[in-house]
Amino acid sequence: MNYSALSSEVDPSSVFPFELDKFQLDAIASLNAGRSVVVCAPTGSGKTLVGEYGIYRALARGKRVFYTTPLKALSNQKLRDFREKFGFDAVGLLTGDASINRDAPIVVMTTEIFRNMLYGTPIGQVGISLTDVEAVVLDECHYMNDRQRGTVWEESIIYCPREIQLIALSATVANSEQLTDWLNQVHGPTDLIYSDFRPVPLEFHFGNLKGVFPLLNDDKTQINPRLLKRGKKKS
């Protein structure tokens, strides 16, 4: 399927009541050009918005989206979030513990469940379980580097039909360029969307039985002198 030939693109300003960052607009442009994306941006920067755009666009076209996560708890959280955003009946859940509204246009699931769906389908073909699925979101895709579970993400990408767009999201994947090159080889045209802007700055603290203290001094150049004093041994 040639996604770029479809005319029912969704204007981001019609679904998001705020100005989008450049990396979000770049990712949306890549999706609308029929390409998959690897989105690497710090925590709190708005990566999930790219996946949500894919959902809005699929709903506008009468298509479906699978949203995969590495954890049952995160899947349950996404179920609640998406029900509030897209409507109770529009969202389903598939985990090892639950099967809820599995034919919904938006189905949240653990990545293992998605991989298991693909096992019963020849590589490159769309099985019954993937009918009308336009995009698959791989949230927290840095789990691919996990020694025990990483193959789940690799197999999901390899077995996923090329006509289904992948939206891979991560804040901590270290080899983003290598990952994108690999997706280009095994799945199809994929763009790396990268941002190092952190809208929520990190702050470091040290905690002990007496309380929690800033780790650095006011100008963030040295260890908090209060901590140095507390760490000195009595003579």
Residues 125 and 211 in one domain: no
Q: Does residue 93 sit in the same domain as residue 207? A: no
Please tell me whether residues 183 and 143 are part of one structural domain: yes
Q: How many domains does the chain have?
A: 2
Residue 227 sits in which domain range? 203-235
Give the start-end residues of each E strand in 27-105.
Answer: 36-40, 64-69, 91-94, 99-100
CATH number of domain containing 64: 3.40.50.300
Q: Among 54, 44, 43, 42, which residue's Cα sits nearest to residue 16?
A: 54
For 181, the token pair is 């090159």
CA 160 – CA 136 distance, rounded (Å): 9
d(CA 214, CA 68): 37
| 187 φ/ψ angles, rounded to the nearest 5 degrees | -120, -50
> Do both 11 and 66 map to the same domain?
yes
pLDDT tens over the chain, length 235 residues: 333 333 457 999 999 999 999 999 999 999 999 999 999 988 888 899 999 999 999 999 999 999 999 999 999 999 999 999 999 999 999 988 888 999 999 999 999 999 998 886 665 555 568 889 999 999 999 888 888 888 999 999 999 999 999 999 998 887 899 999 999 999 999 999 998 766 666 677 888 787 887 877 777 777 877 777 654 555 5
pTM: 0.82
Q: To which H or E segment does residue 183 belong?
A: helix 176-186
Is the domain of 88 the same as that of 168?
Answer: yes
Are 64 and 23 found together in one domain? Answer: yes
Measure the CA–CA gap between 80 and 98, rounded to whole angstroms: 14
Report yes or no: 90 and 105 within 8 Å, Cβ to Cβ. Answer: yes
